[in-house]
């Protein structure tokens, strides 16, 4: 059974800091890994998707890496802003389009 863990569960940083969110998964037989953002009480917004054959993806100030063999992914956020405050979720996909999510990291960026 695939299990996904995210550390830390919560993080508070001052504006401008660079930060790293961690995601680990137990079964390396994945199709891809996605990072999502969720604002309070809202749905999910896809940030980055990394195929199992890729090592990283970048979008603006966001960079996600994937090490499938060790079951780890990181989301790097550069020059954090208060608008980045949200919950960040990672999810792995196996066959059939089913996503298995981690518990999320609640990020607060203070002005």
User: Binding residues for another protein, per CB under 8 A?
Assistant: 4, 6, 32, 36, 41-46, 49, 51, 89, 91, 93, 96-104
Closest distance of CB 79 from another protein, Å: 26
Closest distance of CB 21 from another protein, Å: 13
Q: Which is nearer to another protein, 32 or 85 (CB)?
A: 32
Is residue 10 within 8 Å of residue 77, measured between CB atoms?
Answer: no
Q: Which is nearer to another protein, 16 or 50 (CB)?
A: 50
Closest distance of CB 16 from another protein, Å: 28
DSSP symbols for the chain:
---EEEE-SEEEEETT--EEEEEEES----SEEEEEEE-TT--EEEEEEEETT-SEEEETTEEEEEETTTTEEEEEE-S--GGG-EEEEEEEE-GGG-EEE---EEEEEE-
Q: Which is nearer to another protein, 18 or 46 (CB)?
A: 46
Rounded to an integer, what distance in angstroms lies between the CA atom of residue 41 and that of residue 51? 28
Q: Which is nearer to another protein, 9 or 78 (CB)?
A: 9
Closest distance of CB 39 from another protein, Å: 10
């Amino acid at each position: 059974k695939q299990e996904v863990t995210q550390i830390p569960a919560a993080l508070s940083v001052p504006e401008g800091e660079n930060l790293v969110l961690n995601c680990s998964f137990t079964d390396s037989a994945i199709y891809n890994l996605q990072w999502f953002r969720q604002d309070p009480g809202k749905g999910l917004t896809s940030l980055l998707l990394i195929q199992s054959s890729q090592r990283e993806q970048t979008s603006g100030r966001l960079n996600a890496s994937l090490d499938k063999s060790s079951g780890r992914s990181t989301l790097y956020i550069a020059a954090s802003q208060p608008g980045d405050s949200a919950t960040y979720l990672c999810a792995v996909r196996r066959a059939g389009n089913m996503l298995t999510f981690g518990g999320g990291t609640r990020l607060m960026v203070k002005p």
